[in-house]
A and B are shown apart, each in its own frame.
Chain A
Amino acid sequence: MSEDIITYLEKLVLVKFNEDEKERVRVEINRIVDLFNLLKNMKELDIYEPLFHVHEISSPLRDDEVLDKLDEEYKMLKENAVLVQGYVKAPKTMVE
């Protein structure tokens, strides 16, 4: 795996590796991908459908009702976010 792919992944998940980490992560990711590639060679897997959920249950469905009618600004946001006139402050999004 090349440095280009690491850079691509950094952009995909919005994290950056610093200079010290970059080489280390490249080596480690390559080794881990070698481990992942063990599955590539298992021909017997082709006949199996992917198992997304371990149990055969259907998602429960909820009644359409309102619980906890809220009347004031959600307190948690006051304590954990930066609010401006009740709105959560966030960075600019690009001009469209």
Chain B
Amino acid sequence: MKILIGLEIHVQLTALASKLFCSTDSNYRERNPNICVCPVCLGLPGSLPVVNRKAIEYAIAVAKALNCEISDKVIFVRKHYFYPDLPKNYQISQYDGPGFTPIARNGYIKIFVDGKSKNIRIRRINVEEDPGKIYYIGGIEEAQYSLIDYNRSGIALLEIVTEPDMSSPKEARIFLDKLIAILEYLGVVDTSLEGSFRVDANISIEGYGRVEVKNIGSIKDVEKALTYEIIRQKRIVEQGGVVSRETRHWDERKGVTVPLRAKEFEEDYRYFPDPDLPPIKISSDMINKVVSALPELPDQRIERIIKQYNLDEYRATILVLNKWLADFFEEGAKIYSNYKKLADMLITDFLRWVKEFSIDPKRLSVKPHTIVKLLELLDKGVLSIKMVKELMPKVVKGDLDIDEYIKLKGYTKIDDESYIENIVLEVFKENPKAVEDALKDPKAINFLIGAVMKKTEGKADPKKTRDIIVNMLRNIKDLNR
């Protein structure tokens, strides 16, 4: 059974200072209700919208990053429905249909799934305004009325709609990770802010009706919700039933999708171009200005990191998709040249603990030079790999001063066996005559021990060194028999 998944994503342009159609403060989170409002975003009679230039520039930037065709003009339409969070009882949005063009169309994002690359097509990108927020005292069932906060009303949103090109929840998750990375690189949205990134999904089994799933709260939930819904649909089909077109709601607590019991809005939104907003011409000058200011985007950075640091695509991708980690890496790479080792440490232990402790990368106290120091100590054999793994959690939390630690533990002795083994092998290679001598006369072993001590600046544990050399000589003797 072929699975078809399409996503509809709403992104708040949190980097804007003001709202989409008015100069009201867009920084509404954690403020008292109904403070960031004005006649325009409250839809007071007589108020009129005026478009925020930066919102259009950000939309163009996103469109470019998603390889879309950009419209030569932006037309806003009115989408009519009655709802308490919508002050004008219409939303100013865009529409894709004959005569009305969204700001961008026909793009794609390249993702890697199981080692193969795949393009997920972007159908369109719209610019539109956010409605206010609805609250209930108690629960939605018990409350006798609703409470509205219009602070969010009028905030600039980008609606990004994909074609149903994803064929598994995993692909959807990979797509979203890439999209979020692109948006973060562009700097148009801080996805850690609540409500800044919302996903609705469309899932169908080829040949059957399309089910829309709304209210998926977080990116983690996307995979869960999609997995559940696919199983649900598969079961119906396997039992000979038919999946019909409907809208369902993801219940996070119960982990299921449920049909929307509510009266559906009248589907007839009576779209027409907003007479208060003549079309905005998008000149090639405007596009060029945006393009020339574009930062390095994920795909470009992956390519560059592969070339510049001789890393493979897999490692480069993980670094780049976590922008802060790539930044961290490149900082460290300035003072440490074993790029592969650095990347490995960051991608495995380091990243693991940052995620484990849910540390906000923006608030990380540990700096790249600390990780580099760890690596250098590892190289010198002062610390073993085992020790580094044990210390990492403390390092990530910023609780460890490495120099102090080393002093405290008196790590002037090197007793990491694998480390010493490597040195011994080097010494054997460099001194073939001494090895011959030692094979004949056990007392000649002291020369070899001395050579190892020289190489480790006297730090190697003498007893361990002697044992290792003895073992190796014995192996050679056995081989020679």
Contacts and interface: CB of A to CB of B under 8 A. Distances in A.
Interface of A: 11-12, 14, 50, 52-53, 55, 57-74, 76-77, 83-96
Interface stretch (B133-141, B229-237, B402-410): B133-141
A71 B36 CA distance: 8
Given A90-B147, A94-B263, 4 more contacts: A61-B51, A70-B38, A83-B34, A92-B144
Given A59-B277, A87-B147, A65 B32 contact: no
B51 A62 contact: yes
A70 B25 contact: yes
A61 B35 CA distance: 25
B345 interface: no
A62 B53 contact: yes
B280 A58 contact: yes
B97 interface: no
Contacts of A66: 17-18, 23-26
B166 interface: no
B145 interface: yes
A92 B23 contact: no
B46 interface: no
Contact of B35 (A12, A70, A83, A91): A70
B150 interface: yes
Contacts of B37: 70, 74, 77
B249 A72 contact: no
A90 B85 CA distance: 9
Interface in B196-248: 215
A52 B275 contact: yes
27 contacts: A12-B266, A14-B82, A53-B275, A53-B278, A59-B50, A59-B279, A61-B56, A63-B53, A64-B16, A66-B26, A67-B23, A69-B25, A70-B24, A71-B35, A73-B32, A74-B34, A74-B35, A77-B42, A86-B34, A87-B148, A88-B148, A89-B148, A90-B145, A90-B146, A90-B148, A95-B262, A96-B140
B52 interface: yes
B260 A96 contact: yes
B261 A95 contact: yes
A57 B215 CA distance: 40
Contacts of A53: 275, 278-279
B450 interface: no
B145 A91 contact: yes
State the 9 A-B residue pairs at the shortest beta-carbon distance, nearest first: A87-B147, A94-B262, A61-B53, A90-B84, A64-B54, A67-B23, A86-B33, A88-B148, A58-B281
B149 A58 contact: no
A38 B277 CA distance: 29
